[in-house]
Amino acid sequence: MKSFIALLFNSVLFIAFVNAQNPVQLQISQESQEVKISRNIYGHFSEHLGRCIYDGFWIDSSVQVAAKDRIRLDIVNALKNIRCPLLRWPGGCFADQYHWTDGVGPREKRPKRVNTTWGMVTEDNSFGTQEFLQLCELIGCEPYVAGNVGTGSPREMANWLEYLNFDGNSQLANERRANGHEKPYKVSFWGVGNESWGCGGAMIPSYYSDQYRRYAEFCKNYPGTSLKKIASGSNVDDYNWTEVCMKNIPLHMMWGISLHFYTLAGNWQNKGSATNFGEDEYFKAVKNSLFMNELIEKHSAIMDKYDPEKKVSLCVDEWGIWTDVEPGTNPAFLHQQNSMRDAIIAASTLNIFNNHAERVRLACLAQTVNVLQSLILTKGDKMILTPTYYVFDLYKVHQDAVRLKLNFSSPAYNFGNDKIPAISSTASKDSNGVIHITLVNTDPHHGYPVSTSLSGFKSQNISGKVLTSLHVNDVNTFEKPDLVKTADFKGFKRQGDQLVIELPPLSIVMLQIK
């Protein structure tokens, strides 16, 4: 593997130097913008869908891996390594058919239900509230719970919150204690419904905004826990939904409003293969993912009309690439492989979120294990980390760091008669004064030299990491789990007060300056 990395690195450096006569000038301003990149931009999403919860996080005793109760600890440790800050549950579409009382108390007494959204399979409710919150405690992340508006009631939602967050003497708080958790869970992030325009109730925005006000009124702040209530927001570019919700819902009643957007290489009927694709589908998928920037700008502009101080967060709590399922798997389980293309899409999207951090303060990649653009794939006792996992490992340095302003003009990545920017970037300064720069090169053929001034930087030590591969559809498999993973990056040098970076083709680079 080391020889492969060395060969790959030498080849991409040669290509990069061919383009060295036209360096990209990257200007980084150290002027304080007082905008932090929220750690919760790096959140994740786990739904009762396919093999995400069951046979993912929550395993049968026959699987011979380390576990706490039935929570798989190799997954827990992988998420701790990337500082997973937030986990959204139980859905997704499943949230609006989920009744929380089914998933508390002794497991042998919990009712079996039908998951009518995802495959008509039996939901045995062995993984419920206490198991999810134990998972979050093990990871060290905040829980983000999506409440049931579609088939639930304000009373049901209010009771769940009392069960979770009340520290006094009440029937529901005492029930929590009887179920093994003396102190309140202090769940703060709370979704009032999910995709209420679709699977969450097929509502129109005026009706949903009225329902939100009704439900949110009964979502109480118990002592010690201030709720961050998140409204079910727009499907992609439904700007009218955002307009109506921002107009009808008082700002003090919501912490955030959501936005959902999935990248497709094809269309909803034929989304495209996760592995069997050429440059045409690669280019189309990457281009489609960059639409996220326009979406955020246009939804933010509507929000600014009603909330110029940007008190309400835009929460992109479902995003990622959605492809056709892997051949031979259950179509309702949404199991797909994860390629170098997906890593490029993830890194490009995180750059967009970071650069809109004054409004985007929460995001959740869909989904964590075995579903859609997952970080982790499992097979029995085996586990592999996907290329997307390594992006989150590289980018964890931006969590809660102060965003630094960037100015540069990207060269174009041309395909046929179309083109997109080849390079995107984020820079930030952490609490120790360490500067991190992340760069993405979407172009699979050309490397680019990038030059930035170190004038004014107290830089004594520079180091780097890179994620790259030879082909856009390279994947990690259970037979070859380490084909796409990070390596040390040495493709930079100081020239006076300039830092010159040789950015390889099809790559994601993280530089640390301290």
Give the separation between CA 342 and CA 322, rounded to whole angstroms.
10
One DSSP character per residue, 393-453 reads HHHGGGTTPEEEEEE--PPEEEETTEEEESEEEEEEE-TTS-EEEEEEE--SS--EEEEEE
**Which residue do the tokens 């040789």 mark?**
502
Task: Report CA torsion sign: 150, 246, 230, 158.
Answer: negative
- Is 417 found in the same domain as 305? no
Q: Write out the two tokens for 407.
A: 């100015």
Mean pLDDT over residues 102-118, rounded? 96
Exposure of 493 by Cβ count < 10 A (0-12 exposed, 13-18 middle, 19+ buried)?
A: exposed
- Is 156 found in the same domain as 294? yes
Which of 309, 494, 510 lies closest to 395 in space, CA to CA? 510
pLDDT digits 0-9 by tens, 210-254: 999 999 999 999 999 999 999 999 999 999 999 999 999 999 999
Q: Which of 31-45, 57-71, 191-205, 307-321 has the lowest mean pLDDT?
A: 31-45
* Category of 300 on φ-ψ map: left (φ > 0), alpha (ψ -120 to 50) or beta: alpha
3-state per-residue secondary structure call for 330-383: CHHHCCCCCEHHHHHHHHHHHHHHHHCCCCEEEEEEECCECCCCCCEEEECCEE
**This prediction's pTM:** 0.93
Facing residues of 115 across strands? 121
Give the separation between CA 174 and CA 298, rounded to whole angstroms.
47
- Is 145 found in the same domain as 267? yes
Give the separation between CA 133 and CA 131, rounded to whole angstroms.
5
Is the pLDDT score of 6 beyond 60?
A: no
Q: What is the pLDDT of residue 12?
A: 45
Catalytic residues, by residue number, are: 195, 318
Q: What is the pLDDT of residue 21?
A: 52
- Is 384 found in the same domain as 360? yes
Mean pLDDT over residues 39-56, rounded? 98
- Is 382 found in the same domain as 333? yes
- Is 199 found in the same domain as 272? yes
Q: Write out the two tokens for 232.
A: 């079910």
Which of 382, 364, 362 lies closest to 373 in space, CA to CA? 364
Q: Which of 366, 400, 434 is the last residue before a domain boundary? A: 400
Give the separation between CA 433 and CA 404, rounded to whole angstroms.
12
- Is 231 found in the same domain as 350? yes
Contacts of 9 (CB under 8 A, 6+ apart): 466, 487, 490, 491, 504
Mean pLDDT of the chain: 94
Q: Which of residues 443 and 2 earns the better pLDDT score?
A: 443
* Category of 482 on φ-ψ map: left (φ > 0), alpha (ψ -120 to 50) or beta: alpha
Domain containing 456 equals 2-33+404-513
Q: Write out the two tokens for 323.
A: 């492809």
Q: Which of 372, 400, 428 is the last residue before a domain boundary? A: 400
Mean pLDDT over residues 379-403, rounded? 97
- Is 342 found in the same domain as 411? no
Q: What is the pLDDT of residue 32?
A: 62
pLDDT digits 0-9 by tens, 119-139: 999 999 999 999 999 999 999
Backbone φ, ψ for residue 53 (5° rounding)? -85, -65
- Is 79 found in the same domain as 144? yes
Facing residues of 321 across strands? 263
CATH of residue 102 = 3.20.20.80
Per-residue confidence at 456, pLDDT binned at 50, 70, 90? confident
Q: What is the pLDDT of residue 17?
A: 45
Q: What is the pLDDT of residue 171?
A: 97
Mean pLDDT over residues 182-206, rounded? 97
- Is 85 found in the same domain as 15? no
Q: Which of 370, 400, 430 is the last residue before a domain boundary? A: 400
For the chain, helix (H) and strand (E) counts, in that order, are 11, 26
Q: Which of residues 27 and 229 earns the better pLDDT score?
A: 229
- Is 479 found in the same domain as 331? no
CATH of residue 475 = 2.60.40.1180
DSSP conformation class of 43: E
Q: Any idea of the CA torsion for 170, 171, 172, 178, to the nearest 10 degrees?
A: 110
Structurally, the chain folds into a number of domains equal to 2
- Is 280 found in the same domain as 142? yes
Can you tell me whether residue 263 is helix, strand or coil?
A: strand
* Category of 69 on φ-ψ map: left (φ > 0), alpha (ψ -120 to 50) or beta: left
